[in-house]
Amino acid sequence: MKLQRLTDNIWYLPPDKSKDRPILGYIDGKYPLMVDAGNSEAHANMFIKQLKSNNLKYPERLIITHWHWDHVFGACKVNTETITTAKTGKKLQYLSGLQWSNNDIDNRVKSGEEIEFCKEYILREFPDNNRVIDIKHADRTFDNVFRGNTDKIEYSAETICCDHSDDSCIVIAEKEGVVFLGDSLYMNLHSPKWIYTENKLIPYLKRLLEYDVQYYIASHQPPLLKRDIECMLATTLCVSELINSIGHNRQLITDKLNSKHKDYSTIFAQDIIDGLINNHHLAVND
């Protein structure tokens, strides 16, 4: 896996679906910033090695976008100041009190504290049952906004309300035209069914569109463009309206969406349909 250059001063290590490794970001300068720590020591080391081979400096700071294992397990191997939202800081303390044998993870899945999806990929990244997971605590936390500067590039980390995880932040480098989204664009996976809610997704997408940027980097796919986010918002509004008018039939909603807006049928359309319908089902069954 090779480090990619997105803009003059922004680089990223692409995601690896086979082990659920997210994108790791880098903003260059005298005091460089790393965004997310990776899902393991091996993942973090790969990133650091790639920095060296591109003659880029070791990160001065690390911002972690949310508490999920694939974004934080690498932090113990990144020897730099670690910054998170206050909520993520608390979640890291919780993680550091857990045990990680197959049995321990299984028990958490049974009790609903962990999800099958994470278990599957933790076992792929760490096949040995005697796996040792060190959790690094945050050195500094913030409640709303943290502002930083690499000396070349100003950036800010801002908490954001989204479906995926309620401790999330995004990292904005507006002058470079880039926002790192972490997983904030994705569904809530820690729910009986994977869901999107209109109440969170619509304001979230509208807020993303307020930034004067070109690229949106969601952690588990190639960088998105502003028009992708616009398309997601239009899809969400349309699907939400269809659910209210014709109910929960997935196929009918998919067909109507396709006939109304051919160009909406691509990015995230199926996830949006599934996530919003799942949420309506849960609400009905409550």
Residues that bind Zn ion (CB under 5 A): 68, 183
- Give the chain's radius of gyration (CA, Å): 19
Contact 22, 70 (CB under 8 A): yes
- If the CB atoms of residues 88 and 278 are measured against Zn ion, the closer one turns out to be 88
Rounded (10°) CA dihedral 279, 281, 285, 286 = 10
Minimum CB separation of residue 149 from Zn ion in Å reads 27
191: number of CA atoms within 13 Å, CB side?
A: 21
**Beta carbon of residue 256, minimum distance to Zn ion (angstroms, whole number):** 31
Q: How far is the CB of 134 from Zn ion (least distance, A)?
A: 20
Looking at the Cβ atoms of 68 and 91, the one nearer to Zn ion is 68
Q: Given the complex with Zn ion, which of 71 and 136 has the nearer CB atom? A: 71
Nearest distance from C-beta of residue 182 to Zn ion, angstroms:
7
In whole angstroms, the minimum distance from the beta carbon of 131 to Zn ion comes to 20
For Zn ion, the closer CB: 118 or 267: 118
Distance CA 109, CA 116 (A): 6
* Shortest separation between residue 239's beta carbon and Zn ion, angstroms: 23
Cα–Cα distance for residue pair 69/233, rounded to 1 Å: 28
The nearer residue to Zn ion, 9 or 164, going by C-beta atoms, is 164
Specify the pairing of strand 81-85 against strand 145-149: unpaired
Burial class, 277, CB count within 10 angstroms (exposed 0-12 / middle 13-18 / buried 19+)? buried
- Phi/psi zone of residue 115: left (φ > 0), alpha (ψ -120 to 50 degrees), beta? beta
Nearer to Zn ion by Cβ, of 41 and 183: the residue is: 183
